[in-house]
Structure 1
């Protein structure tokens, strides 16, 4: 099958992060097993989702690894012109949920697997398919204890998030948190006698803002990013039951996206100090993934450059699973077809020319592995 045919199958699996991906994983397993790959299924703690590790070629620790996530964001509340889980071609584009983010790369990766199965490889080709990337890279974090000994030491891992086939050498790390503000319930007519949890929450959000101002004015700067400094963002505040009841509980969900030069621990400490000063505010970390920072002149970048016609180096504003691989000691870059401007919205699409460009890169990669 060509990449378009494979993508047609992949889009047909509605692998929204809140749902199971086992049907897709089963299909990919059968496809790769028929090609002669060795396979390891890695289930999540619930047994309702799974990731895969696969390899083919000589029993050596190096080789090249390709990585893609299987989950997609929801389509509810979006005004689609087409059925989101049925691939549609129009005007040189392929439409469907996940075409850009990132089943297009997964399709090209599986096409490359077929080519590798017919080649006399001198180095192995290794593949990773994960779950729950769209909810803070949760799946790959759960998979890593099993993956680390299986992956061994590939000389490069390519994470195929959409970069318009440019080479992304970095992205910020991210951590998410929930601040819980505890007040006292009471009648609003006696408001001053009680501790209002929403007021505590407002004070905590007030502490986020000067931190952001300091980061933008005097924090580390990296002009490779559209926003060149670390960011702090409150995305959700919830509390209270009725206007005439003093709220006794307030939750604030917030995040920190940080440059490598801004240690996360120091940013966390500043907000912990603010919580202590306000009082009755506790902070829980709800998720995190590491950033990525690769030197532009590294051998990994030069290797990937040679597989592409005239790639530019870039950095991406969104997070990826690359940080987890890089933190495990595996040289990792981000490069894939499509553009994130088309992801996460109605009528998501990928240009057919982008998919073809990825296929050409994969062809060169298989040739490299065959020596």
Structure 2
């Protein structure tokens, strides 16, 4: 497959940052969303325990997946305040992708490290964990928290459980660093991501007598066209935010299934759609337009043909948008440490909006490029790992969270 295994090149050698050895171990955990992440989470848990820190876990309903939260107290034993270092443990599938290396074996080629999750976002987690011992030695005046979630890639499903437990435990951080891959640049905002499923229940009939049935596909198509018209309207009329590459809210249908044969009026049709709202727009306002059309136009029309027909919308996942306050401590701190004053806003979602809605101001900055995420031969530049290590050192230093002027 090409390349050299990191372990074969002495992970601790002078030309590799210290966290690469841990990244090699993390990449080997196949934490795709169809798999459990418990092996990786329990491994991280053991590293904290070895350092004298006892994390707590929150599980999904089947206890196949877990979030991990741990607190490194201040030198005075304070656990309140401080900041959260946040990352997700899950990675996207490699099915259907052509890799030139083993995706679950960290492989070095020149100045790049290849492997699923190397950029998105086990690189950041590896840096955070490899710095644990040195962070303990710094005798911080404020605590650092570590939050590692599950199922971020399928709608940020794990983080809300962890945030609820933080509220229950009365944990109130001052800010959160989301370590998604930004090439160590500051990202202050992202769109909300909202995924829904529409199920249309019609009435089957022979196609020679379609008036005896209710065509589920055709009524689904009306809703799909409405969503497209709504997307066109937002593209043409806004509102707009020029700092996004696509400076308006978007909507689209991504999957559809229905029907059994061409000579049968279809009884069932199901499709999934999403919309991504700029932070200035309430996602509920977009959903309300679609819901109103379904409830007040489509369902009555279907039931005029047959009173047993129905149509329903189901929320699959929703991750709120992030819009960081430039005056918030977290924003000012990360800007000061990186020297980056540019305004960047992105279309992809993170858990930042969930932290923000929970009262924890968030900012996005992490190693690796988002352009490498989710694709075959995902990689992270070694220099990005080194930059992130230097950033974490600075974050915990006298100009970081210990700086009272922040």
From 266, 270, 275, the equivalent of 1:247 is 266
What is the deviation of 1:286? 1.7
Distance in structure 1 (CA, Å) of the matches to 2:189 and 2:168:
25
Match of 1:156 in 2: 175
**Does 2:320 align with 1:290?**
yes
Instruction: After TM superposition, list the pairs within 5 Å mapping 1:189-200 onto structure 2.
Output: 189-200=208-219
- Displacement of 1:142 after TM fit? 2.5
> Aligned ranges for residues 331-342 of structure 1 at < 5 Å?
331-342=361-372
Distance 1:103 1:313 in 2: 25
2:358 to 315, 318, 328: 328
Equivalent position of 2:15 in the other structure: none
- Give distance in 2, aligned partners of 1:190 and 1:40: 62
Confirm whether residue 20 of structure 1 aligns to residue 50 of structure 2: no
**CA separation in 2, counterparts of 1:89 and 1:311?**
33
1:11 aligns with 2:9: no
Deviations 1:271-292 (A, max 9, x none): 1222131223221222211110
| Deviation (angstroms), 1:85 | 0.4
Deviations 1:189-212 (A, max 9, x none): 222432111111111111112111
User: 2:298 matched to which residue of 1?
Assistant: 278
TM-score, normalised via structure 1 length? 0.96
Structure 1 stretch displaced more, 177-186 or 305-314 = 305-314
Larger helix share, 1 or 2: 1
Is 2:89 aligned against 1:73?
A: no
* Cα distance change of structure 1 residues 315 and 307 upon mapping to structure 2, 3 Å threshold: same
Cα shift at 1:38 = 3.0
8 Å Cα contact 1:29/1:39 also seen in 2: yes
Give the match's secondary structure for 2:153.
helix
After superposition, residues 141-290 of structure 1 pair within 5 angstroms as: 141-150=160-169, 152-275=171-294, 276-279=296-299, 280-290=310-320
Q: Secondary structure at the match of 2:121?
A: helix
Shift of 1:115: 1.4
The whole-number CA distance in structure 2 between the counterparts of 1:237 and 1:15 is 28
Deviations 1:225-253 (A, max 9, x none): 11111111111111011122111010111
**Partner Cα separation in structure 2 for residue 141 and residue 56 of structure 1:** 22
Residue among 339, 342, 356 paired with 1:312: 342
TM-aligned CA distance change 1:310 to 1:206, over 3 Å:
closer
C-alpha deviation, 1:314, in angstroms: 1.0
The structure 2 residue matched to 1:343, chosen from 370, 373, 393, is 373
Determine helix, strand or coil for the equivalent of 1:135. coil
- Residue among 24, 31, 49 paired with 2:47: 31
**Alpha-carbon distance in 1 for matches of 2:50, 2:401:** 20
CA distance in 1, matches of 2:235, 2:340: 33
Mark the runs of 5 or more structure 1 residues left unpaired by the alignment.
none
Structure 2 gaps of 5+ residues are 1-11, 13-17, 300-309
Q: TM-score, length-normalised on structure 2?
A: 0.88
- For the pair shown, the structure with the greater C-alpha radius of gyration is 2
Q: Between Structure 1 and Structure 2, how many residues are aligned?
A: 371
